[in-house]
Structure 1
Amino acid sequence: AHAGVSAQTVSRVANGMGTVQESTKRHVLQAMSDLGYRPNSAARALKLGSFRTIGVLSQTLSSIGDVRTIDEISRHAAEAGYATTLIPVHETRQAEVDRVFSRLQELAVDALILNLEAPQLAHAAAMLPPGVPVVYMDPAAPDADVIIDTDQVGGARQATEHLLGLGHETVWHISGPRSSRPAGRRIDGWREALTRGGRAVPDVLHGDWSVSSGYEQGRILAARADVTAVFCANDQMALGLYRALGEAGRTVPGDVSVVGFDGTDDGRGYAPPLTSVHHEFGEVGRLCVSAALALTRGDPVDPLAVIPTTLVVRDSTAPVH
């Protein structure tokens, strides 16, 4: 009544559905502001059968890659008019994982996106709320209907082949945690490139995605004169490697060429700027949300989407002396 339009028009504006002239939309939004009106989400859920909310379970928030992925999921969900409920799984103990999955039974969500590691995925299907569509971010997820993944193997292969192409005899690798499937697939790509090239495959050094772990493993590599090229499984560990090499009096890329993975904006600010495999976080988030919403509508969805990576060459790599 305050806006001078029908209830149906107000509903279309509030729900972001249908076609409303821009001038009418602005008029309705101004009326909502004048009256302090807020849509009642509980009532709307009962009427529409939708909570306009997507649940996101993530194994960790400690790495920049996971944070960027969740940020993009949240952004694309918001653009579609959906909120996100984040449930972090901080521990791998079975009792803690079961507690987290049990909480899902109480949440009002239309769909779920799971960014979990293998131990949690192994029994996820039995614990998930019945009837709620699920999008997985791991190709090893059992009985998954939809999987969104990044070409981890191809990206690692690109990084390694780039270093071999610069004349390095072999490439050392600082990996992520042993339990991490993305880390494992990056090892596969690195090893595949070395094997195809007939090169020696050094022992893997395992970090935990953090700068400090890159530094600790980097100290081992910095002490070896035969190390001339290193592929790090993420950009943060590459930064730790930079420090270790610097402390040992070795330069990048004069003595050691370094490649990271994720292609974060921070890498451009490293000294020297870091060559890195660019991970399309925005596309991952968009496809996860798009698939989740399509499943809620009963629309057909491709069961597997693998997003390609791109090697961004900067100043941290150079031909071997």
Structure 2
Amino acid sequence: MSADLPKDRAPSIRDVARLAGVSHQTVSRVLNDHPSIRETTKARILQAMEELQYRPNQAARALSKGRSRTIGVLTASSAQYGPARSVAAIEDAARRQGYFVDTANLGVADPAAIEDALEHLLDQAVEGLVIIAPQERVFDVLERLDIAVPYVSLQSTGKHDLRALAADQILGARMATRHLIELGHREIVHLAGPQDWNEAEARMRGFLLEIDDADLITNPPILGDWTADFGYFAGQELLRSRDFSAVFAANDEMALGLLHALHDARLKVPGDVSVVGFDDVPVASHSWPPLTTVHQDFDGIGRLAFATLLREMGTGTELPTAPIAPRLVVRGSTGPVPVSRLPLLKRY
């Protein structure tokens, strides 16, 4: 084997693969000490890493010691409050147990970017992974790469629930919708999150289930993008018809944008329209009126994720009792259905 690399960059996993005459997936499996790799192949890859001085043989040293004391976190939504809080809780819990945390953030969640991010984490010889990524395709890539390290997920996908630690998104959405129904609202609109996000789909499902159980007419959910800007835009569009008395938004940011649109239209909340959000971000209690929302314990979920991962790795025992069940927080943005709309409800 011989190395011939540009001098202006460090060697990569693909350089190691090319020099060893294997695929980059095979190099990842060696870095992860996958049992299916033949010793001759492993030796050739480690020799290539030595020749290239690949990350000063960091992964090779970790393999020789058997432990890297490092876990990986793959996230596609680190800019949002909830995932950011969970990552911070994971990092704090890991430090207390003597572990390092390497985080890879997905700017674009296409299969190639997901694979590159996972390979980056495996380059560090991580002992386990926490997945904070919203799309099912992330888990498809995990299975295709045949990653041997344990992993847990903060999102429920319906296919990987044994490894999922997410709060019950469907239950939270049903609680929010039921609250509006119990206040007498019958014309309820749902501002949903992006269609390809598991959490958005689960919250929309919870809304539709509760509406169906109450035998109400279903208004088609409006697909949003989690932002306050979209909430404001959706509010302006909804006000063209005013065929609703309440809105359940799939997150607090869209709900806050909606409150802005209602204020600009000189409508009273909750006198004219009631609004419920989801997540209970810190600013939710300081909006005007303060926002009724579904609270999630993101810190508790992060701590539980790390403790569960330790157990999966064979280094942890008891799991902490974390209050990860969602709960409704009733504030000033919801109230009884407006008297002006009661005659319209007789048709139900």
* TM-score, normalised via structure 2 length: 0.74
How do 1:126-165 and structure 2 match up within 5 A?
126-127=144-145, 129-130=147-148, 132-140=149-157, 142=159, 146-165=163-182
Q: How far apart in 1 are the matches of 2:126 and 2:304?
A: 18
Aligned residue runs from structure 1 range 197-276, under 5 A: 197-276=214-293
256-265 vs 76-85, which deviates more?
A: 76-85
Instruction: Report the counterpart of residue 53 of structure 1 in structure 2.
Output: 70
- Structure showing the higher strand proportion among its residues: 1
SS of the equivalent of 1:56 reads strand
2:110 is equivalent to residue 65 of structure 1 = no
Could you say if the C-alpha distance between residues 285 and 149 of structure 1 is closer, same or farther in structure 2, counting changes exceeding 3 Å? same
Cα offsets for 1:110-160 (capped at 9, x unmatched): 210012211221121232543x11112233275675221211000000000
TM-aligned CA distance change 1:160 to 1:176, over 3 Å: same
Structure 1 stretches of 4+ with a deviation exceeding 4 A read 41-48, 141-145, 298-302
Q: Distance in 2 between matches of 1:158 and 1:129?
A: 37
CA deviation after TM superposition for structure 1 residue 298, in Å = 6.0
1:69 and 1:284 in contact (8 A); partners too: yes
The CA distance in 1 between the partners of 2:79 and 2:234, in whole Å, is 18
Per the TM alignment, residue 98 of structure 1 is displaced from its structure 2 partner at its CA by 2.3
Instruction: State the secondary structure of the residue aligned to 2:85.
Output: helix
**Paired residue type of 1:73:** I
Measure the CA separation in 2 of the matches of 1:229 and 1:162.
Answer: 11
Q: 1:120 aligns with which of 123, 126, 138?
A: 138
Aligned partner letter, 2:112: A
Sequence identity of aligned pairs in percent? 35
Report the residue type matching 1:65 in the other structure: G
Judge conservation of contact 1:223–1:248 (CA < 8 Å) in 2.
no
Separation in 2 of the partners of 1:46 and 1:106?
A: 11
Give the 3-state SS of the residue equivalent to 2:234 in structure 1.
helix
Q: How far does the alpha carbon of each residue in 1:158-208 deviate from its partner, in whole angstroms, 9 at most, with x for none?
A: 000000111111321111101011000000110111110011111111111
What's 1:102 paired with?
Answer: 119
How far apart, in 1, do the equivalents of 2:219 and 2:253 lie? 21
Which runs of no fewer than 5 residues in structure 1 stay unpaired? 1-40
Shift of 1:299: 6.0
Relative contact order higher in (CA < 8 Å, ≥ 6 apart) = 1
The residue aligned with 2:304 is 287
Post-superposition offset of 1:104: 3.0
Residues 309 and 89 (structure 1), Cα distance of their counterparts in 2 relative to 1, 3 Å cut: same
AA aligned opposite 1:125: E
Aligned to 1:170: 187
Letter in 2 for 1:270: S
Name the residue aligned to 2:54: none
Considering only aligned residues, what root-mean-square deviation do their CA atoms show, in Å? 2.5
What letter matches 1:122 in structure 2?
D
Q: Residues 60, 169 of structure 1: CA spacing in aligned structure 2 closer, same or farther, 3 A cutoff? A: same
Change in Cα spacing, 1:249 to 1:143, as seen in structure 2 (3 Å) is closer
Instruction: Number of aligned residue pairs: give it.
Output: 278
Among residues 188, 193, 213, which one is paired with 1:196 in the alignment? 213
Q: Which residue identity is paired with 1:63?
A: Q
CA shift in 2, pair 1:49/1:163, >3 Å: same
